[in-house]
């Protein structure tokens, strides 16, 4: 028995070591970098970060994007997985089509949407032929922040809803059909079955999907950069600016640490808020 | 055994002439260390095409800018130095002067002047000393380009080669009035070179400086003007990185950018576009030449050979060849041959018109900022964002950014560079 337990640890050890080398050590270095400026320990990098002209915008844009995009995606993914459940034929084909965005790189997705939304893009061409607009209209400038936000939102939803969807589909397949059948025998409506049976049983999957998706949303970068550029600063694009253009690794590291803290907090929130309640099967 | 002898013998036979050849080449070749033409394609073109007709052998050695001072110093301390000539940007040659690594090249100055190197460039080449410390070799710069459709809207009496910023604004306004669209464009995107527009063009043209005059009354006037002009600027400008793209797509009719980032438009549709000098402000027609100079090593192994090489590289025909092979423009007066690619010829004409304009003045790429250069540019972009995009009061925006600017200058320990007057110690915002 004891040997078995040791064996388990021995088998896990390489992966732990691997993560430690390529994740924990750089993480430690980043934190050290964030808290040192000109050789002295302190919060100077964070002060410069907070004093950055676009810091507040970056925080507001990032939070705004997460708050709007994640619930929307969850609702969409739930709907999609429910629809998929009730399909008899062509299920695999639809699953496959809905998962296509997963295979597209962030930047490519951003560029595709840029091609659609730009001044002479596909959207404007269609609107022009429908007579809605009479010439090229810019949607993605600093003068049209709402349209810009919606543009990024649409692109993010298109690109990343599949991440939640795939996790939820896997979850729904684990729910025994008998539960729903029993509920309908007792006269539960479709909505009641969904609300009282499916969603609670799906909670662990929803939790996983939300953690994954929220962390990724806080790290939104390529899509935002492609569509919004500096017109829509987010935390990660500011980190990139300080690293690449300003070559100030300390402030870039401070941004990285801030993003890490926010995602950690979000993860903890989901772990607590969506924990299995008493009497539920986790 | 026999076989082994044969192999060793033939190897020796092969190696001997090679070794002798190398030794002979070493004795005769001129060591030419350059921070420019570093990409392997350009290096090859330099070695095989540009240097082909020079009678002596040249060892052209590309190096990284940060290595120049180290390698030059190390070579000067050798018993037999091998380097004779340095090719580098103005700002990269400057640190070689206090290190005593450059020999004055006054003897070559009359030749350069006679071939038409502008007096302004020759003055810069003194690097703050009494002597010419390098001879300008080749240059790149930022110019303007416009779609021919925009020309009918030029304000009355405006001459494309002698435009003022006021006329540019009026021109853009005329287009907006007539078409309802904002057709002036700037490369203010994340990877665009807009900071150079502020550093080398707008600021010096309006204030005569770039650091010392950062928050001067003239700067306040300049920002007020620029904010007014921005009403006619395509709002997508904050996404543009290379102006050749919006020019080609027709989203923008008039644009400012680095010549290499306009070239595609002029190349693809040479009949649709014109290229012309940057406008002038109250302090003159400032432009930012990216000057590559040739400096002769004070410990030169072959000073006479290096001087001959400088003369050769400044010959009009070599300068044209350099343009064709590398895209760097001549510093001497040359007649552009008719078989030169039209796009390149348009740009060359614009650059010549700009540097020979009576009010032309040079502003340098920032000197001595090192890794702070990006952050320095960010100051001008932040100021632009505050005043033009966010509508903050000009005075307070300048006051805030001036503090940051001074902090960067202090961190870099950089003295003022042209267009600002030379300073004792770190350059100060006044």
Choose among B181, B235, B249: nearest Cβ to A142.
B235
pLDDT higher for B260 or B6?
B260
Q: Which residue of A has its CA nearest to B411?
A: A38
* Confidence (pLDDT) at B178: 95
Average the pLDDT over each of A118-122, A181-185, B26-30 and give the range with the smallest value: B26-30
Please indicate whether, in this complex, the C-beta atoms of A245 and B371 are within 8 angstroms of each other. no
Q: Which residue of A has its CA nearest to B383?
A: A53
CB contacts of B385 in chain A (<8 Å) are: 53-54
Q: What is the DSSP letter of B386?
A: I
CB contacts of B238 in chain A (<8 Å) are: 141-142, 229-231
Q: What is the DSSP letter of B271?
A: T
How would residue A279 be classed by pLDDT, with cut points 50, 70 and 90?
low
Threshold 0.90, pTM exceeds? no
Domains of chain B: 2-141+291-335 (3.40.190.10), 144-288+363-412 (3.40.190.10)
Taking residues A217-246, what's their average pLDDT? Answer: 90
Taking residues A142-171, what's their average pLDDT? Answer: 92
Taking residues A2-13, what's their average pLDDT? Answer: 88
Average the pLDDT over each of A122-126, B221-225, B366-370 and give the range with the smallest value: B366-370
| Residue B328 C-alpha, separation from nearest chain A C-alpha, in angstroms | 25
* Confidence (pLDDT) at B141: 94
Q: What is the pLDDT of residues A201-215, one digit of tens each?
A: 899 899 999 999 999
Q: Which residue of A has its CA nearest to B407?
A: A48
* Confidence (pLDDT) at B304: 94
* Confidence (pLDDT) at B8: 46
Could you tell me the CA-to-CA distances from B97 to B32, B50, B127 in Å, in that order? 18, 28, 8
Burial of B423 (0-12, 13-18, 19+ CB in 10 A): middle
Max avg pLDDT among B28-37, B58-67, B213-222: B213-222
Q: Which residue of B has its CA nearest to A142?
A: B235
Please indicate whether, in this complex, the C-beta atoms of B251 and A241 are within 8 angstroms of each other. no
Please indicate whether, in this complex, the C-beta atoms of B189 and A119 are within 8 angstroms of each other. no
Query: 3-state SS of A30-91?
Result: HHHHHCEECCEECCHHHHHHHHCCCHHHHHHHHHHHHHHHHHHHHHHHHHHHHHHHCCCCCH
User: B291 and B107 in contact (C-beta within 8 Å)?
Assistant: no
Is residue B262 over pLDDT 70?
Answer: yes
Helix (H, G, I), strand (E, B) or coil at A135: coil
Please indicate whether, in this complex, the C-beta atoms of B236 and A119 are within 8 angstroms of each other. yes
The size of chain B, in residues, is 430
- Count how many pairs of residues, chain A against chain B, have C-beta atoms within 8 Å: 50
Give long-range contacts, CB 8 A cutoff, 24+ apart: B381-388.
B381/B188, B381/B194, B381/B195, B381/B198, B382/A53, B383/B198, B383/B223, B384/B188, B384/B194, B384/B198, B384/B226, B385/A53, B385/A54, B386/A53, B387/B223, B387/B226, B387/B227, B388/B223, B388/B226, B388/B227, B388/B230
Distance CA A156, CA A224 (A): 8
Question: What does the mean pLDDT of chain B come to?
Answer: 90
* Confidence (pLDDT) at A280: 59
Choose among A140, A142, A241: nearest Cβ to B389.
A142
Taking residues B54-64, what's their average pLDDT? Answer: 94
Q: Which of A225, A245, A227 is nearest to A235 (CA)?
A: A225
How would residue B374 be classed by pLDDT, with cut points 50, 70 and 90?
confident
| Residue B248 C-alpha, separation from nearest chain A C-alpha, in angstroms | 12
Is residue B19 over pLDDT 70?
Answer: no
Structure token pair of residue B22: 């190398």
Is residue B1 over pLDDT 50?
Answer: no
Helix (H) or strand (E) holding B45: helix B40-45
Q: Which residues of A touch B (CB under 8 A)?
A: 53-54, 119-120, 135-136, 138, 140-143, 225, 229-231, 241, 244-248
What CATH code is assigned to A35-273?
A: 1.10.3720.10
Is residue B328 over pLDDT 50?
Answer: yes
Chain A within 8 Å of B236 (Cβ-Cβ)?
A: yes
Please indicate whether, in this complex, the C-beta atoms of A53 and B385 are within 8 angstroms of each other. yes
Q: Which residue of B has its CA nearest to A227?
A: B239
CB contacts of B190 in chain A (<8 Å) are: 225, 229-230, 241, 245
Q: Is B66 left (phi over 0), alpha (psi -120 to 50) or beta?
A: alpha
Question: What does the mean pLDDT of chain A come to?
Answer: 89
Each domain of chain A, given as residue ranges in start order, spans 35-273
Helix (H, G, I), strand (E, B) or coil at B140: strand
Q: What is the pLDDT of residues A66-115, one digit of tens each?
A: 999 999 999 999 999 988 888 888 888 998 899 888 888 889 999 999 99
The complex's ipTM? 0.81
Is residue B124 over pLDDT 60?
Answer: yes
Please indicate whether, in this complex, the C-beta atoms of A247 and B374 are within 8 angstroms of each other. yes
């Amino acid at each position: 028995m004891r040997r078995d337990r040791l064996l388990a640890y021995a088998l896990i050890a390489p992966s732990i070591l691997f993560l430690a080398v390529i994740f924990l050590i750089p993480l430690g270095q980043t934190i050290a970098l964030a808290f040192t400026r000109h050789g002295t320990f302190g919060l100077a990098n964070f002060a410069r970060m907070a004093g950055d002209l676009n810091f507040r915008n970056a925080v507001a844009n990032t939070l705004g994007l997460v708050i709007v995009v994640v619930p929307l995606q969850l609702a969409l993914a739930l709907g999609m997985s429910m629809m998929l459940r009730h399909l008899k034929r062509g299920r695999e084909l639809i699953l496959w089509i809905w998962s296509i965005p997963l295979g597209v790189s962030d930047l490519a997705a951003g560029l595709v949407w840029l091609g659609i939304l730009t001044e002479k893009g596909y959207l404007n061409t269609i609107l022009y032929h429908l007579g809605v607009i009479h010439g090229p209209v810019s949607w993605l400038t600093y003068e049209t922040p709402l349209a810009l936000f919606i543009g990024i939102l649409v692109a993010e939803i298109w690109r990343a809803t599949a991440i939640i969807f795939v996790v939820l589909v896997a979850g729904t397949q684990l729910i025994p059909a008998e539960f729903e059948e029993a509920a309908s025998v007792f006269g539960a409506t479709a909505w009641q079955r969904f609300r009282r049976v499916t969603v609670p049983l799906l909670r662990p999957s929803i939790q996983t999907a939300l953690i994954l998706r929220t962390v990724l949303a806080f790290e939104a970068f390529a899509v935002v950069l492609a569509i919004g550029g500096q017109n829509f600063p987010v935390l990660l694009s500011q980190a990139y600016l300080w690293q690449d253009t300003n070559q100030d690794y300390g402030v870039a590291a401070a941004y990285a640490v801030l993003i890490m803290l926010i995602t950690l907090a979000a993860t903890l929130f989901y772990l607590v808020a969506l924990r299995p309640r008493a009497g539920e099967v986790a | 055994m026999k076989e082994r002898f044969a192999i060793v013998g033939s190897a020796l036979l092969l190696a001997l002439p090679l070794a002798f050849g190398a030794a002979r080449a070493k004795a005769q070749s001129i060591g030419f260390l350059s921070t420019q033409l570093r990409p392997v394609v350009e290096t090859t073109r330099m070695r095989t095409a540009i240097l082909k007709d020079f009678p002596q052998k040249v060892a052209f050695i590309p190096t990284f800018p940060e290595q120049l001072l180290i390698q030059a110093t190390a070579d000067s301390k050798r018993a037999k130095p091998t380097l004779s000539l340095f090719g580098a940007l103005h700002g990269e040659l400057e640190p070689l002067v206090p290190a005593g690594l450059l020999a004055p090249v006054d003897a070559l100055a009359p030749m350069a002047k006679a071939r038409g190197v502008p007096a302004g460039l020759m003055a810069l080449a003194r690097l703050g000393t009494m002597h010419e410390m390098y001879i300008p070799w080749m240059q790149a710069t930022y110019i303007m380009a416009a779609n021919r459709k925009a020309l009918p809207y030029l304000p009355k009496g405006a001459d494309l080669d002698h435009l003022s910023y006021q006329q540019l604004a009026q021109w853009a306004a005329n287009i907006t009035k007539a078409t309802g669209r904002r057709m002036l464009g700037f490369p203010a995107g994340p990877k665009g070179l807009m900071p150079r527009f502020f550093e080398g063009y707008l600021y010096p043209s309006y204030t005569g400086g770039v650091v010392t005059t950062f928050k001067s009354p003239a700067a306040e006037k300049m920002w007020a003007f620029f904010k007014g002009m921005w009403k006619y600027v395509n709002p997508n400008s904050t996404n543009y990185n290379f102006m050749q793209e919006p020019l080609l797509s027709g989203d923008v009719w008039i644009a400012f950018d680095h010549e290499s980032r306009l070239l595609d438009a002029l190349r693809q549709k040479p009949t649709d576009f014109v290229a012309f000098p940057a406008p002038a402000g109250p302090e003159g027609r400032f432009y930012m030449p990216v000057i590559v100079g040739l400096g002769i090593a004070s410990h030169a192994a072959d000073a006479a050979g290096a001087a001959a090489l400088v003369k050769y590289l400044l010959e009009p025909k070599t300068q044209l060849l350099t343009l064709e092979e590398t895209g760097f423009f001549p510093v001497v007066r040359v007649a552009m041959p008719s078989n030169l690619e039209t796009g390149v010829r348009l740009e060359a004409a614009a650059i010549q018109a700009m540097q020979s304009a009576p009010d032309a003045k040079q502003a340098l790429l920032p000197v001595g900022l090192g890794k702070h250069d990006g952050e320095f540019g960010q100051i001008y972009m932040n100021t632009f964002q505050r005043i033009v995009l966010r509508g903050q009061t000009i005075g307070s925006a300048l006051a805030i950014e001036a503090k940051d600017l001074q902090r960067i200058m202090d961190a870099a320990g950089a003295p003022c560079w042209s267009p600002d007057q030379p300073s004792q110690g770190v350059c100060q915002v006044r």
